[in-house]
Chains A and B, each alone.
Chain A
């Protein structure tokens, strides 16, 4: 079952608001959607979710369910722009909230008028459909058809049934002729002997068996070092499904270097703390797993403070995608220049509780993609001059990565 966002929020227990000022770290969403109309949901998610919920109760700040009915839009604008100014101006409501939440100051957000309007519209209409979309996406997974072995078994059953029916028919015919009948195994045995009496048939059977054995042996050898579906147990039961799937956190928010570096590095613990300074308990594992981050970085969830002089212990994740040292791979080339989605190589990460290696990561796999993928040259001045000449050279053809030397040894092995 797909947990709903409401359920997650209900399980998050926030006991203390004093560290609110620390929570200037806001969840940024890194997606590049640029639309002419400001997207209220986007703004809300980017700026508000660290401290507020809609219909989920108090978090760091109050529940925003029905907030537009409770306060005037004008008041909300002033508060969001700068709550401290509003408090200083002597507004009674503002002071009351300030007192209620232990005098923790809300971060100032100077939104443009359009953004503010969009946000308020969003707050008026709480996000119901979004959750449903997420559940629907998760549900499709189950109808993927049957596996190969099931199909084989069905075929075998059908064939056996056929043999049985044919034998029965033959027996009934023989019976009617008054001849001796055969049981099914006897028929099979006799037929096999008859079949193998012919040398050419023997040869074919022998060849068939040999081909099958060789095929299995070849596959086994080719599989050495290929670790598709490798799914090791990690030191922290981190779920990409909860983070990237349910909460739709952009991959680049944590894997910051994928766009700029050869490595899409595993996030450092301080990135986890951007959210987990306030989210101290998770949906499935409660506090046990999140506590491991605190143990690494030295954070006391009770007092919401970092422990002075704590000897930090790095988290030793198990590397899943292991390219051999002899191959050079650069994430930014593929993510930024090639504009590939993470999922194209890593699979539906946002649906994995425990991440596994989706692709083979073999040279054949790389090359196959380089042969098929068209180079995205539009709008990139680097390619401008090159593109014109290549269009002439490969008139009418797709300019794929291999046409630009993407299959050459030295491009990846040096």
Chain B
């Protein structure tokens, strides 16, 4: 594994980091106030449920920001990890709904199985299922990343491969209707670890869990970004060969970012299930996977909070616009891919940064 020596620069930099940490804490505080105090008061049950769904997408976006914005790996395949996390959670919830020894409803209908398939069995255990929602995507990402990054497959090659993976997994899941629910996916989820999801109070609780998870994920991303690993990751993005010549193995650095992003997508998928009540191959395919990326591009791929805000904004715009003008939404979505990427590659976050920099230079001048 890579050995990291403390570079001398870091000591000087840490002095400058103190106010940054302070800013970050304020930021987290603000986010927490908005998510936990303002939103639940201001929004009704229905809108809060929608927000929970958006926040799930935001969690995926944070991971993409890490892998793509910081690591330069355009992952067009996050749907795979989102789906794995979602299916792991949904399988457990379906089994819990069915009760011990019983088959989930769709298996009785379409599968005509006498017994649960072996790979379903471990998911009856809540601890296993919970762990699997995050660890299973990470494991798949680890194995795939190991193969891909070691052989220095990168750039467009990596993007295309991750896209093909989505298509393959979605088609495969659809093909196994008896055991995966096919195109329908796993639906009609009634309970969440003993809590009845039909109860509005419990749906609010789901919202709080999702919001807390988003904050936690942001915290993890923040820690990673400002660690030496984060600096290495950026270095790999900007000059992989240079990093290699410096004695690091870029494959390891990328692998970590990729695996973490996969874990986040898995977590998001797992939370999506109780929040929306369904997981289906439609969430895994090529199109939803690339749609995860727009929010990140709009919000600012390299920033911490940008991808999350961007994802929420885009998802909200989709709901709002497609209600009124469904065909206009497709044009708008197309433009969302084009305009920010061409004219504002740093996303909205860079706009904010630019404004701040202007302000700070002007204060310098006046003082």
Partners in one complex: no
> A residues touching B (Cβ–Cβ < 8 Å)?
none
